[in-house]
Amino acid sequence: MGAITDVTGIRVGQVQRAGSVQGPDGEESDSGWLTGVTVVLPPPGTVGSVDVRGGGPATHETDSLDPATLSQRVDAVVLTGGSAFGLVAAHGAKRWCEENGRGFAVPGGLVPIVPAAAIFDLGRGGDFSARPDEEMGYAATAAAAAQTEGHDVERGNVGAGTGAVLGRGTYKGGVGTASITLENGVVIGALAVVNAVGMPFGTSPKRAEPGSVRLSEERASTPRGSAAEAKAAAEAAQGTDPAAGSPPLNTTLVVVATNAVLNKVECKRTASACHAGLARALNPSHTLADGDTVFALATGAVELDRSSDTARHFSLITLQSAAADVVTEAILDGVSRAEGISTPAGVFAAYGPVVRYHGPI
């Protein structure tokens, strides 16, 4: 499936806190933590934009990525747990960037451009106040910088996916990634943090055999277990479980990167197109309870065919279509790699491998 780091120059750093911790006396105690931070660190000069479609986003500095604004470059993208509280992790990433000479030049120094988005995972480890801070953001950025070119990306219960769930807390979510290389040398990679109200589209939370599940089936996700299991999962996906007593609070975050030369407007359109890949992976998506957000980054290493308007349009449409597919793969990878856990806040089961049908419909 590849990884977002198949795009030359892209690096990913992740830190997390989860489960029990050992005190000075050697005794283990539950820390109440289940959260983390994932930082995507692109090479200097990377252009970026964003498209926020969810009805309940928690974001930081996304306005600076609008094509109509002054800055063009992105120094880092921070994905974090902790809802709005966790956005402070971006301050740590900014501090690292400033210390390392990365940012928008202003009189007297640099101002790093570090957009961020957060998922809701508050209290899932048992302690509502256990959330990412500035130091975790700094550590994740430093970890990304320390990675070698083309490094693998850890997936599942790591980074910002540590406290992620899906199906309104029925199953464990996590970090996933994927990539594709086009014939013209363009590489597109995606990284997703899957923390969704919905469930994988047209699949069952059973360990399926290859070829037995069609993601392309145009129907809601319906588990094929007992009637009670099916009803509970359907209610969870729709956010209508009467026993829950509160609205679902979730978000799926995505970073898409390419080595193509794109301007800020084209990055914006690419981020917009990638929401189709999110919708093909999760049902429902983009609800009032989701903060679904897609960032798009372009490192500018490979020129597209712009010899005519027709060639330019074809190149962009091909790239954006492929990018949407990569987003779908990254999301399903995040679901498949997530491991079930038990915390004082509840039990979150593993969904199991999700098989995408690649043959004719």
Reported as a single tens digit per residue, the pLDDT across 122-138 is 999 999 999 999 999 99
> Which residue has 């490192």 as its token pair?
299
Q: How many CA atoms lie within 13 A of 13 on its CB side?
A: 23
Q: What is the pLDDT of residue 314?
A: 86
What are the residues facing 195 on neighbouring strands? 251
Top-level class of domain 4-19+30-348: alpha beta
Return the DSSP state at 228.
H
Digit-coded pLDDT (tens) for 73-118: 999 999 999 999 999 999 999 999 999 999 999 999 999 999 999 9
3-state secondary structure of 20: strand
Q: Which stretch of DSSP H or E encloses residue 94?
A: helix 89-99
pLDDT digits (tens, 9 = 90+) for 176-190: 999 999 999 999 999
In angstroms and rounded to an integer, the radius of gyration of the C-alpha atoms of the chain is 20
What distance in Å separates the CA atoms of residue 143 and residue 189, rounded to the nearest whole number? 20
- Residues 193 and 178: beta-carbon distance below 8 Å: no
pLDDT for residue 45 is more than 90: yes
DSSP conformational letter for 212: S
More reliable by pLDDT, 229 or 16: 16
pTM: 0.86
90-104, 225-239, 240-254: range with highest mean pLDDT: 90-104
pLDDT at 48 over 80: yes
Residues 250, 350: Cα–Cα separation, whole Å = 17
For the record, the structure tokens of 170 come out as 């029925």
Q: What percent of the chain has pLDDT over 70?
A: 82
**pLDDT higher than 50, residue 217:** no
Which pair of structure tokens corresponds to residue 53?
């479609």
Q: Where are the domains of the chain?
A: 4-19+30-348
Residue 249, pLDDT > 80, answer: no
Quick one: pLDDT at residue 308? 86
**Residue 295: pLDDT over 60:** yes
83 is written with which tokens? 């809802």
Better pLDDT: 58 or 222: 58
The pLDDT of residue 307 is 86
Closest among 109, 71, 69, 115 to 91, alpha carbons compared:
115
Count of Cβ atoms closer than 10 Å to residue 108 Cβ: 5
Q: How far apart are CA 267 and CA 270, in angstroms?
A: 5
- Describe the crossing of helices 309-337 and 264-281 by its angle, rounded to 10 degrees: 40
Q: Look at residue 223 in the predicted model and tell me its pLDDT.
A: 35
**Residue among 74, 54, 55, 77 at smallest CA distance from 64:** 74
- The residue whose two tokens read 């990539």 is 179
- Res. 220 pLDDT band, cuts 50 70 90: very low
pLDDT at residue 360, as a whole number: 39
pLDDT above 70 for 33:
yes
- Return the structure tokens found at 96: 């690292």
Average pLDDT score over the chain: 86
What would the two tokens of residue 103 be? 């940012």
What is the DSSP-derived secondary structure letter of residue 286? Answer: S
Distance CA 227, CA 68 (A): 52
Higher pLDDT, 284 or 242: 284
pLDDT at 216 over 60: no
Q: What is the pLDDT of residues 143-199, one digit of tens each?
A: 999 999 999 999 999 999 999 999 888 999 999 999 999 999 999 999 999 999 889
